[in-house]
Structure 1
Amino acid sequence: MKNLNFLLIPTAFFSCVLLCSCGDNDSNNTSNPQLTPATPGTLKTCDEITSQYSFKNTTITGSKIIAAGDVEYSSTETYHAPEHCLVTGYMNERIGTGIAGDTRYAIGFEMRLPTNWNGRFYYQANGGLDGSVAKAVGRLLFSGGSDSAALNEGFAVISSDMGHPSPTPLFGLDPQARLDYGYNAVADLTPMAKNIIEKAYGKQPDRSYFAGCSNGGRHTMVAAARYADMYDGFLVGNPGFNLPKAAVAQMYGIQEYSKLVEFDGADILTTLQTAITPEEFSLVSKKVLEQCDVLDGTSDGMIANTYACQKAFDLERDVPTCSNGRDNTCLTAKQKQVLGNIMSGPHNSQTGEAIYADFPYDAGIGSSGWSEWEYFMALNRDPGAVGFIFSTPPTPFNGESEQSSLEYVQSFSMDNDVQRIYGTDSIYSESAIDFMTPPHPTDLSVLKSRGAKMMVFHGTSDPVFSVNDTVNWYNGLTNANAGNAETFARLFLIPGMNHCGKGPTTDKFNMIDALVDWVEKGVEPKNITAAVRADNTELPSNWSKERTRTLCPYPKFAKYNGTGSIEDAASFSCVSPE
């Protein structure tokens, strides 16, 4: 690899988890085709795949039977798995170009093929900046428990590194690696994976599903827009489908918080976190609840009627302004201004044009997940993503320290430098907006016309990918389909949930089974039952550890019926906002 010492970006530094529309020509047709159910099969070959399999630009590095048992997905997650065939390999091996020359690139993958197969294929879209092949267990997003994996339910599963190695975000210097990460790896992996499935079982999958959260949710939305002919169902979680814009918004947050502190050589992150402390964020959460908790019919520490809350709560009026110093019972006038600016989203100061969506006030603003993304992730991840991956040309910097990241953020102009995410040149022919976001995101005519389905969920307290961005997309999708988007796509808001889980919320639910039933049986997902996680340390002490809630398809929300336990989803019904 060429000398990149001037970059000096450690592997761990950026390896944390990230994150004009076309109408439907058949928008008045609400009768979509009904796809038939998958039929099961049995594994016919495994060990021989290594020597016998042949596919364009693909190398199989191993294939072997794995006995039934536990698969360690990470240091904190283990999943049960049946007996299955593990296939590993890579595609499109090459040497990087330009400043990334001498670096080996390939699309690495692994597949896990159960001996007793349910006839379905599951694309496990991983998050962050990718760069490594996660275990292809097929995590069933937010189902909870060691049994909640697609592999364990009989799916054939693939996982990949999306075409680049660690350390990330250095791959952004290579133009093809950018495209692979954005969308192209899926295009190449999918037919190859289905071909391996055919080799292993004697037939291709009857039904194919794509699922992910965060950047994995972005991957899924991009696949729904680009590759709806390859997949039948899409499960989208907290999607960063405008990720380049969201990353800029994160940097804007650091710029704003920096106005409240003085960096005097002390630890950058520690100093930054004093701008608005956890106790002060909790104060805001408390005041939001005071105004909004009962808008769903009961006082339960959750805000289901999110958008009525935005009208009911006023930061300036409802949070006391400090008169004699900060004591966790008030915010200073300057803190209010900074928080208000951040919640409103970044704008071009000259034109007033919004750079990214605004954020709703919600109960989860007081949780640790909120401040972690506002400070640590925004300082230690987003500058590298913007500088290396999303800017054209790349604007690399020495990311060895938080000081250098802070300097990069502070030098970034919201009026002028944002144009880099829209830029192209002779080397980087597609802008970040082109290769990262779904093309024509409200045109899902291919998905709709063939009977495929999409389910989307988003936490209302997501501090990095605004739920308002997803709601705006869904409203646009509805308009593009004459009000009938719900016939093939549904959005579920998760009150209080931070980014892909946690917070004061019910974030344990199974949407993949509901998606399969919708795709293959025509059973509409009218609501989803969600529960609290027993290991969620941020649940209020007065909540039952057995609390359940009804998740409703937007724009409906769960309203208390007036009788029954507030800990039981059966006491709530989905109603339309007034």
Structure 2
Amino acid sequence: MFKLPLLLSVLPLATVFSSAASVQVRANHDCASIQPPQVPGAEVLSVMGVELTVDVPPFPPSPSKLNTTVDVCSVNVTLTHMGVNDKVVVSVWLPLPDKWNGRFQATGGGGWAAGEFALLMGPAAVEGYSSASTDAGVSVDPASADTWALKEDGTVNYDLLENFASRSIHDMAIVGKAVTESYYKKPANYSYFYGCSNGGRQGMVEAQKYPDDFDGILAGAPAIYWPELLAATEWPQVVMQTKKTFPSQCVFEAFRKAGIAACDKLDGVKDGVVSNLDDCEFNPFALVGKKIDCGGEPTTITLAQAWVAKKIFDGPKTTSKRTSWDVLPVGAYYDALANSTIENGVPKIFPFVIASSWIRSFLKKDVNFDLTTITYADVPKLFKQGVDEFGKIIEIDSDLSALKKSGTKLLTWHGLADQIIHPHISIKYRQEVERRMGDGSKVDEYYRLFLAPGVTHCGTLGLNDGAAPIDTLKVLERWVEKGEAPETMPAVATDANGATTFTRNLCRYPLVPRYKGGDKNSADSFECAKDFGSHH
């Protein structure tokens, strides 16, 4: 049996698989004899299969607590789209027949990577799913699109952007389900999509454009409104550069904790978590003059630092002085979007790489563009340019008529302390869908949203103040397969060792978790209600 370390498998897969396929071609006839799938608008260039034993470390949503291994038939399908001259790799992992649970799970990407490959496919295989991931014909680098965004003549490569935006996910669904049927000699009983961040965006796009690809779609912290989102995430850097003030993460952490303390009790209980963002009002200037300890070095918070924190919270403004986008919620960490560095003793901005790549390559068409030249007045222009130039390709739409008709279920969730994608994005989209498709109860028949107080981007392990959702795919499966529409979603908070510290039941939007008394560490002490009561 050929053994592939998990992290190795996120490298360009064609090289790995082609070297292994010849070794295994006689060892497993079924795996090496997968029929080429039919993909509309594309030509399949090659299909290579090999049996692998894969090391899988614990990673959500896998229930595995220890490192484990899983045997899979790994199939690599390479295709090209007519007239595009691209080369797309779709990887499909198939548990051995006696381990298959009868379901197919397509997996999403993160950042500028359309697929995370083994990072999500490994846990899926452990749970018995056949699974798939795609590189969309672009780089597997999640941090940057600089290597593929522009053609040699300096113009935007719209074909590859379309691959990244939507086309590759639809292709992955077609390829993944076809390869699954070819290997097991029968189609999957149910097909699902699982993704978070960019993967969440991909799921939302599938729900809008290709809902028949899946029976259920799970989209966490979706990076929807892509052009606006990436312009907005540059805002903290513009603020620091303009103010010529670069607070350390220790100082920013003082603001974060003060924000939590100011708004913690608005939900009726002091538990170190902000559940009521709507009524939360935090005044950074209250910390001016406060002395804090930063790694053994005493530091005093300054007025300039407070102005930076306030300006970041306020978000970028349009010319009419109306907030155009929320950037950071109270309780979120600053380090992703408001980072800085020191070069030769001089503090400098350290931009969020995903947003930087969007601005340099797609908006400025110059990978060497100096981000320090962006002003407050430029940010609304970046919003408008992104939507005008690329909205038709990568923007989200609130028309879910096709999803409603298909019977496919869309389950989404978002952490209220997301440090990269403000949760108001998910709320905004849900509200737009309701305005277009009907009231909340009608939309709930096929699309539900759950908000997770105190939870970071995609529930990043070890960073959450709140309880992150667990068994999310199982919740979706019960909705799809048994008709059990979820009213709540189970969630747990853990300490640094992974031990559970408290539990919660996340509420179906627009309901909120109201404290009704008792042990604040128990989910039973909360109920889902229309409001938080008279605590604010």
Match of 1:158 in 2: 132
Q: Describe the shift of the 1:249–1:546 C-alpha distance in structure 2 as closer, same or farther (beyond 3 A).
A: same
CA distance in 2, matches of 1:323, 1:53: 66
Matching of residues 61-140 of structure 1 within 5 Å: 61-67=47-53, 70-71=55-56, 80=68, 82-92=70-80, 105-114=86-95, 115=97, 116-130=99-113, 134-135=117-118, 137-138=120-121
CA contact (8 A) 2:37 2:179 kept: no
Match of 1:241 in 2: 224
Deviation, 1:508, is 5.2
CA distance in 1, matches of 2:102, 2:89: 24
Matching of residues 532-543 of structure 1 within 5 Å: 532-535=493-496
Does the alignment pair 1:320 with 2:287? yes
CA distance in 2, matches of 1:66, 1:520: 31
Matched pairs, number? 470
Match of 1:99 in 2: none
Match of 2:148 in 1: 171
Q: Describe the shift of the 1:521–1:337 C-alpha distance in structure 2 as closer, same or farther (beyond 3 A).
A: same
Decide which structure has greater strand share. Answer: 2
For structure 1, the residue ranges without an aligned partner over 5 or more in a row are 1-14, 16-43, 97-103, 140-148, 262-273, 399-403, 424-430, 538-543
User: Which segment drifts farther, 323-332 or 407-416?
Assistant: 323-332
CA distance in 2, matches of 1:109, 1:197: 13
User: Which segment drifts farther, 52-61 or 547-556?
Assistant: 52-61
Matching of residues 471-510 of structure 1 within 5 Å: 471-480=427-436, 481-484=438-441, 485-500=443-458, 501=460, 502-507=463-468, 509-510=470-471
Match of 2:250 in 1: 279
CA distance in 2, matches of 1:316, 1:165: 41
Match of 1:571 in 2: 525
Matching of residues 31-430 of structure 1 within 5 Å: 46-49=30-33, 52-53=35-36, 55-56=38-39, 57-67=43-53, 70-71=55-56, 80=68, 82-92=70-80, 105-114=86-95, 115=97, 116-130=99-113, 134-135=117-118, 137-138=120-121, 149-165=123-139, 168-169=144-145, 170-173=147-150, 174-261=157-244, 275-308=246-279, 310=280, 313-315=281-283, 319-322=286-289, 331-348=301-318, 350-352=319-321, 354-357=323-326, 359-362=328-331, 365=332, 367=333, 370-375=334-339, 378-389=351-362, 391=363, 395-398=365-368, 405-407=370-372, 409=374, 413-423=378-388
CA contact (8 A) 2:107 2:116 kept: no
CA distance in 1, matches of 2:453, 2:137: 35
Per chain length, whose mean CA-contact separation is higher, i.e. which structure has more relative contact order (CA < 8 Å, sep 6+)?
A: 1
CA distance in 2, matches of 1:316, 1:136: 39
Q: Secondary structure at the match of 2:321?
A: coil
1:291-317 Cα shifts (integer Å, max 9, x gaps): 322222221111223323x2xx24167
Does the alignment pair 1:454 with 2:410? yes
Deviation, 1:280, is 2.7
Choose which of 426, 437, 453 in structure 1 pairs with 2:395: 437
Deviation, 1:112, is 0.7
CA contact (8 A) 1:45 1:199 kept: no
1:450-494 Cα shifts (integer Å, max 9, x gaps): 321111111111122111121111122233322322222221111
1:424-475 Cα shifts (integer Å, max 9, x gaps): xxxxxxx32222222x2x2212222232111111111112211112111112
Q: Secondary structure at the match of 1:138?
A: helix
1:382-428 Cα shifts (integer Å, max 9, x gaps): 22222213x2xx52132xxxxx65435459822444433134xxxxx
CA distance in 2, matches of 1:324, 1:518: 52
Q: Describe the shift of the 1:324–1:509 C-alpha distance in structure 2 as closer, same or farther (beyond 3 A).
A: closer
Does the alignment pair 1:511 with 2:472? yes
User: Which segment drifts farther, 249-258 or 475-484?
Assistant: 475-484
Q: Describe the shift of the 1:472–1:508 C-alpha distance in structure 2 as closer, same or farther (beyond 3 A).
A: closer
User: Which segment drifts farther, 453-462 or 333-342?
Assistant: 333-342
Equivalent position amino acid for 2:159 in 1:
Q
CA distance in 2, matches of 1:447, 1:547: 36
TM-score, normalised by the number of residues in structure 2: 0.79
Report sequence identity in percent.
23
Deviation, 1:254, is 0.6
CA distance in 1, matches of 2:236, 2:179: 46
Q: Describe the shift of the 1:164–1:289 C-alpha distance in structure 2 as closer, same or farther (beyond 3 A).
A: closer
Q: Describe the shift of the 1:300–1:326 C-alpha distance in structure 2 as closer, same or farther (beyond 3 A).
A: closer
CA contact (8 A) 2:291 2:300 kept: no
Q: Describe the shift of the 1:575–1:447 C-alpha distance in structure 2 as closer, same or farther (beyond 3 A).
A: same
For structure 2, the residue ranges without an aligned partner over 5 or more in a row are 1-10, 12-27, 60-64, 151-156, 341-349
